[in-house]
Amino acid sequence: MERKTKQREAVLQVLLTENRPLSPPEILDVAQALVPRLGIATVYRAIKEFLESGDVVSVDLPGEGQRFEIMGKRHHHHFLCRLCRKLYEVNGCPGTLDALPPPEGFLVEIHEILLKGICVSCA
Amino acid sequence: MERKTKQREAVLQVLLTENRPLSPPEILDVAQALVPRLGIATVYRAIKEFLESGDVVSVDLPGEGQRFEIMGKRHHHHFLCRLCRKLYEVNGCPGTLDALPPPEGFLVEIHEILLKGICVSCA
DNA sequence: TAATAACTGATAATCTGATATCAATAGCCG
DNA sequence: CGGCTATTGATATCAGATTATCAGTTATTA
C-alpha cells in the first residue's frame, strides 16, 4: 500500500463507522455508497493490506466466513443473530473461565465466546 | 440407510472410540484401519445419514471445517490445540454467562465457548 | 501537465470442501 | 444359493470464497 486511494479509505471508513465485524460482501455493499464502482476484488485487496499493516483483524466464526473489524478494540466477544446473520460486539467477559477446566496438562491461551440468538432488529 | 454395512459401522465406531469431534478426513484416516479401501465419499454419505437419524451432531468451529461427534452427550464445550488442530471435549460450563450481557433487546438462545491453546500431547 | 507506476474493476482462474455419477460390489430376502 | 437393489469407491463435478490477470485509470512527483 503506497498510495492513498478513495477505495481503501472507503473500506476503512466502513469498518470504523459500522463498528462491528463485517464480511467482504458486507463491506462492499456499504462502501459502494462512498465509491459506487467499487469492486469486490479491491475490497479483498484492501482487507489484505490492512491485515498486514495491523489496522484490521479477522474474526472467525463457526460455520461462517471470515469477517473483519478494526484493530485495537479491547477484549470483547460477539453475538450472532440467527435470523439476519449480522454479527454484533458484546462488551464484557466472564474472565478466567475457571468454571471450565480443560483436561489435565492442557494450556489455555485464548478463549472465544459466541452468543447466538435474535438481535433487537429481528425481534 | 437400509442396510448394515461395515463402512457405516466403521464410521460410527470411530466416532465412538475417539470420543471427540472429528472432521471427515480424520474419520477416514482412522476408519481405514477397519475398512482399508474406504473412500471419502462414503464417509460423507455416512455422516449425512447419521445426522438425519440423529445419531451424530455437527460441531462448528471458528475458521475450521465442520466436525462431527456422537449425539447425546451432555452440554459441554471444546478445546482446540493450535499446534495439532485436534479438538477435545471440555466438561463443565460457566452457566448463564451473566458476566457477558448482550446489547439491550437481544435474546441469547445459545452460547458457545472455545478454548484454544496447546494440548497435553503437544506440550 | 506529463510521465510513471501503483491501483482499480471486471472477470477468469483457482482452491477447497462437499456432492453427483456410474460401474462394480455386496447385503438381504426368498 | 441367486437375484435384486442399496451401497460403495474412484473420480468428475459443483459451489463458494478468494486470488490472478490485464487493460484502463489515477495518484504522485517533477
The pTM for the full model equals 0.83
Lookup: nucleotide whose C1' is closest to B47 CA: C18
Among candidate residues B51, B70, B89, the one where a domain is terminated: B70
On the question of pLDDT at A34 being above 90, the answer is yes
* Cα–Cα separations (whole angstroms), residue A68 to A42, B82, B104: 15, 21, 24
Reported as a single tens digit per residue, the pLDDT across B58-112 is 998 877 788 999 998 888 899 988 888 889 999 877 766 666 778 889 999 988 8
B96 and B59 belong to one structural domain: no
A48 and A85 belong to one structural domain: no
Q: What does the CA dihedral A114, A115, A119, A122 come to, rounded to 10 degrees? A: 90
A14 within domain boundaries: yes
Reported as a single tens digit per residue, the pLDDT across B29-53 is 999 999 999 999 999 999 999 998 9
Q: Distance, in angstroms, between B2 CA and closest chain A CA?
A: 30
Q: How far is it, in rounded angstroms, from Cα A11 to Cα A81?
A: 23
In strand D, the nucleotides that come within 7 Å of a protein beta carbon are 6-12, 17-21, 26-28
Q: How far is it, in rounded angstroms, from Cα B47 to Cα A5?
A: 48
For chain A, what is the HEC assignment? CCCCCHHHHHHHHHHHHHCCCECHHHHHHHHCCCCCCCCHHHHHHHHHHHHHHCCEEEEEEECEEEEEEECCCCCCEEEEECCCCCEEEECCCCCCCCCCCCCCCCEEEEEEEEEEEECCCCC
Q: Which amino acid is at A36?
A: P
Lookup: nucleotide whose C1' is closest to B39 CA: D9
B28 and B63 belong to one structural domain: yes
B58 and B94 belong to one structural domain: no
| Protein residue closest via CA to C1' of D26 | A5
- Number of domains within chain A: 2
Residues 6+ apart with CB under 8 A from B119: A105, A106, B79, B81, B83, B84, B86, B88
On the question of pLDDT at B25 being above 70, the answer is yes
Lookup: nucleotide whose C1' is closest to B8 CA: D7
**C-alpha A61: how far from its chain's center?**
9
Q: Distance, in angstroms, between B4 CA and closest chain A CA?
A: 31
Domain containing A107: what range?
Answer: 74-123
The CA–C1' separation of B40 and D8, in angstroms, is 11
B66 touches strand C (CB under 7 A): yes
What pLDDT, on the 0 to 100 scale, is given for residue B96? 64
Q: Distance, in angstroms, between A7 CA and closest chain B CA?
A: 27
